[in-house]
Structure 1
């Protein structure tokens, strides 16, 4: 049964197919002798063809490569699929003779790693990096791997299973592919099977052109299930169908109407779903606001790599791009941690970039949170800082009038399966005469490092307010994550129920047909019935198991709550100096400016959120609900019509990093008649002056209004 065969691993499937090809369907000795004689004759003919040194498909392959200028483009990569291991070896040999660097992937190769020569992942990485120009593969490369660095594919042999054909195309034709894909299908049209296959591919292309939709190739399995093809071919080879019958049975449903109906059904299904566009836009804006930007990752990479003995050579004329050296043991050791959930680290990584666009455009390794190298560096930096965390630190603040203490907490939420679903860092500010305040972890970016004084202020020994932390930090954290998690699990649960119920319904129909065949004493019906019943039991058990897993995912517990470090915050000794005092923001003026700007943005119909207490480097976020445009707005207020404004180090850094969406809004005359000046996008482009003694930056308002 072809459907069952498809469920095997690639190497096992290839082995079974080779065994099946060697089996004779006849049981009579005379017929076996006739088959042997015929096969010997065919083998002799094959040797004669091979001795001529010409093979039609190989000739056409070389001609196409020559016509497309492939021989003169060593940077161009090519993927060749074949059904057979022998053909793979043959093609590899021929392509190497033509001067190409060739690699291959087949079912007998183990997955391995990118550092293990002879493994699939190693070959795949070599192909991505350009060390291999041509990759020849059997179905082992048809599933699961991403080869969108290549956009030219040859199907040297065409599989009858349409799902395999779609999987092959999906290796290069997927989200993120930036080039038009060229796919060449080699079909021998001098056989009835070849002619039917050629007709099928041509009809698919005609339908694709009519619908203007590449999804035609994604839903071919709905029109031509592999089981249907199996039955038709079996009847044809048994002599029950003639040539015309074969073509009619296989192609009768392959028309524009059937494909259009399937696409329409899919669209109707989407239309009935609860699609909350406001929620989607909000999540998109939130993701844009919170994303870890390339500049931040690059700074962390350079600072942590030096301590970890990881060599990094910046690439000239390409921002945030590095050539890394050999991965040191100080990082490799983390892949043995029990909670390590990432691939093993490579012994040496190719050129990498912290900017995704740069990585995609230049076929580089993209370094980001979740990448093994980044995660190892993060763990290394965290471990290296433990002594410093235990000792604590001291900082000066320009806005503080009395000493305070910042306590940094870590907490995580784990589901019923033991998986960490969220981990967060919290900062709580304590002072002697005021209630605790929840701050953003980046609050230190607005301060300057200081030496710990010999005489510590009383706040340094102030007891933790665990009740306040529980009520105002941890419980809201759990509630926030639970709300999102429950909604997500409900959506998944609904989908699982619909899909597995449909699977069970199809198997029920199959059992019914098999029962009828058993009653009619059809040969093999009892075996099909038994298999269908087993599949029904498996699907039923799978549904129950999945429902249990989803129920466990709804369960959440708070774990790992601990105070990581404490920081003493002292008023800056120069805060009363004349050149600093005139720049220092006044709380009442700042709040007036905040009110004016928020009213202005809301009047424009934008969705506004006050985040000034989170120390993110800006005061509010403003989002257009229609376009989704996000503004990160830093607000400055002046009591008079003119004057100078001050940026903290954190505000300046965010302004430089988020030039695409960072805005500066200045409100003058806050003491009498507040007036909002013209908003400034990308204020980092102006020549800010550094106040060296407090490490802040100032600029006259006139410089902004007369650019």
Structure 2
């Protein structure tokens, strides 16, 4: 009896010790969370919205109690809430608070694409659950880069194994794309008895070394990795023919269509200076510097869910790639300052009544231009592209398309007049035709992509289904005295789950295949009248037959005509694929302006000026 009491006393002591360790561990993890949220550079100070996931309702309640000591309110979702209650919590998170707590069960069927920061307070054992958590914020409509933080204890076996697993998974996502990687590997780990609970149990009971655990994990995942790679290769080889000349031609076309970076700099500078931002010049105005953004713009960034800006951060940027350093960024369409400027310009455009602008321009005839916004999307509601369409009516009634470069070719310094035009929107029917053509262009690209993805998904799910079915049959054969009943039930449930996920993914691909176009919206009207003092441009549609015949006569092919006032007017290739970019002029001496010549720098070694007279080409000049 005395021995029994001693043993009970030891057990009680161990239980108390375990409870203290657990409490200490919970408190330490919460401190890390608190620093992540509330530290000097904490996420909340940057205006971010944070989704925090935990597996357990008890942990959720603990976090709620602790966090409400620091914030006035937060949203929470767990499995017992009805769908209406969940929707109310999502709206609360979107409009009135920065933090949402959620369990895996509670996170089902909610979309939080307005949030791009997620913290896994504790990690699920199976990678399938990780993928499902990520899906809450990485949904269609998510415009920002998504950041996911995983709180894992350092210097522990669980921490080392989880770190190895996550790094492996991320590499697979990079190489294979995100589809199904976590699902497949999660099932494979369980099948191989290499899932994390099994590994941890083995480590404790059998004293397995950390190196042996991670090696086993590596081997299991690597085998699955190679199997998925081979499957992807077979699908690609069966459906794709590599067209190297076509790829090279597309690359040349992208170079011509790309807006020169210096014009992004000009746009950002003009827009931000209009909003009272001080911008300093250096290196002959090739480098711009902003010491800090005003508070009202940082709040605007938060409201528009744009990439955040730090309170005291200095920004240096340039349009000249030669000036780029780790501290000086290249201004592009993806730069946070450009995205901010674009949003500001859009808001201003919506507030200003639509009037017509009249301005001098280096052309030989009057053009009435209408600018349309064309939005392309798919059946899932995802916006694929928003294009600007520039249609110009000539004096003879002909309607032509202008290249977006016409906005940058000539700097408007004077002569700008604004007035109301009662005869507006004459070109809407033509815009509808162009919108339908854009839809067809996207559909041609989307159809083979959808076919390949559907085929890949079918093959992948079929492989997963067959593997699960083999396991089920093995358990059924060995089911002596009903010892495998639980495993059999699990495998049968897995088969149903695989079919459901397959049907859902294939249905989503079918919706993605369907390309939709919204009716074009007229957003600007401009009248261009001749400014003959500048180096004027010819319209390539008037000379396409002449230039095409000239190129054929000189052994060049793959002839293309650009829209009006583009960076170049025509494109052709020599027999060896060497590109030729052509600009038309009536004068060899004054055929290209300095501004235009600067923008031609990336292709100058393949650029030529053709001089036309009386309907024939009389000279050509190499511009490089």
Equivalent position of 1:410 in the other structure: 373
1:295 corresponds to which of 240, 256, 262: 262
Equivalent position of 2:565 in the other structure: 615
Matched, 1:423 2:386: yes
Equivalent position of 1:542 in the other structure: 501
TM-superposed deviation, 1:511: 3.1
Equivalent position of 1:434 in the other structure: 397
Equivalent position of 2:513 in the other structure: 554
Equivalent position of 2:552 in the other structure: 599
The worse-fitting range, judged by mean Cα deviation, of 492-501 and 670-679 is: 670-679
TM-superposed deviation, 1:295: 1.7
Judge conservation of contact 1:315–1:323 (CA < 8 Å) in 2: no
Matched, 1:378 2:303: no
The superposition leaves residues 276-311 of structure 1 with CA deviations (integer Å, 9 ceiling, x where unpaired) of: 334544444444333344322211111111012233
User: Equivalent residue of 1:399, what SS?
Assistant: coil
Structure 1 stretches of 5 or more lacking a match? 1-27, 43-84, 90-103, 124-136, 148-154, 177-217, 682-707
Judge conservation of contact 2:364–2:537 (CA < 8 Å) in 1: no
* Aligned residue-pair number: 509
Give the distance between the partners of 2:465 and 2:364, measured in 1 at CA. Answer: 66
Judge conservation of contact 2:364–2:530 (CA < 8 Å) in 1: yes
Equivalent position of 2:607 in the other structure: 664
Residues 173, 658 of structure 1: alpha-carbon distance in 2 compared, 3 angstrom cutoff: farther
Equivalent position of 2:595 in the other structure: 653
Equivalent position of 2:150 in the other structure: none
Give the distance between the partners of 1:468 and 1:234, measured in 2 at CA. Answer: 70
The worse-fitting range, judged by mean Cα deviation, of 414-423 and 366-375 is: 366-375
TM-superposed deviation, 1:460: 5.9
What is the TM-score of this pair, normalised by structure 1? 0.56
TM-superposed deviation, 1:368: 3.9
TM-superposed deviation, 1:559: 1.9
Give the distance between the partners of 2:168 and 2:308, measured in 1 at CA. Answer: 28
What is the TM-score of this pair, normalised by structure 2? 0.62
Equivalent position of 2:164 in the other structure: 165
TM-superposed deviation, 1:434: 2.4
Residues 287, 252 of structure 1: alpha-carbon distance in 2 compared, 3 angstrom cutoff: closer
TM-superposed deviation, 1:160: 8.8
Equivalent position of 2:103 in the other structure: none
Structure 2 stretches of 5 or more lacking a match? 19-23, 49-119, 135-144, 148-153, 176-181
Structure number with higher relative contact order (C-alpha < 8 Å, ≥ 6 residues apart): 2
Residues 676, 119 of structure 1: alpha-carbon distance in 2 compared, 3 angstrom cutoff: same
Judge conservation of contact 1:415–1:555 (CA < 8 Å) in 2: yes
Equivalent position of 2:278 in the other structure: 311
Residues 165, 316 of structure 1: alpha-carbon distance in 2 compared, 3 angstrom cutoff: farther
Equivalent position of 2:528 in the other structure: 569
The superposition leaves residues 531-565 of structure 1 with CA deviations (integer Å, 9 ceiling, x where unpaired) of: 44444333322222222222222333332522222
TM-superposed deviation, 1:408: 1.4
Give the distance between the partners of 1:228 and 1:521, measured in 2 at CA. Answer: 21
Give the distance between the partners of 1:560 and 1:415, measured in 2 at CA. Answer: 14
TM-superposed deviation, 1:352: 4.8
- Higher radius of gyration, 1 or 2: 1
User: Equivalent residue of 2:602, what SS?
Assistant: coil
Residues 461, 160 of structure 1: alpha-carbon distance in 2 compared, 3 angstrom cutoff: closer
2:42 corresponds to which of 117, 136, 142: 117
User: Equivalent residue of 1:478, what SS?
Assistant: helix
User: Equivalent residue of 1:568, what SS?
Assistant: strand
In the TM superposition, 1:146-545 aligns within 5 A as 164-165=163-164, 167-168=166-167, 225=189, 227-229=192-194, 250=216, 270-278=236-244, 279-314=246-281, 319-320=286-287, 322-330=289-297, 332-333=299-300, 335-336=302-303, 342-343=306-307, 346-347=310-311, 349-353=313-317, 362=326, 368-385=332-349, 390-401=354-365, 403-446=366-409, 448=412, 451=415, 462=423, 464-466=425-427, 468-470=429-431, 472-516=433-477, 518-522=479-483, 525-545=484-504
User: Equivalent residue of 2:440, what SS?
Assistant: helix
Give the distance between the partners of 1:655 and 1:114, measured in 2 at CA. Answer: 50
TM-superposed deviation, 1:451: 3.9
Name the Cα RMSD after superposition: 5.7
The superposition leaves residues 316-358 of structure 1 with CA deviations (integer Å, 9 ceiling, x where unpaired) of: 5995553441344246336435xx6x44555455535466978
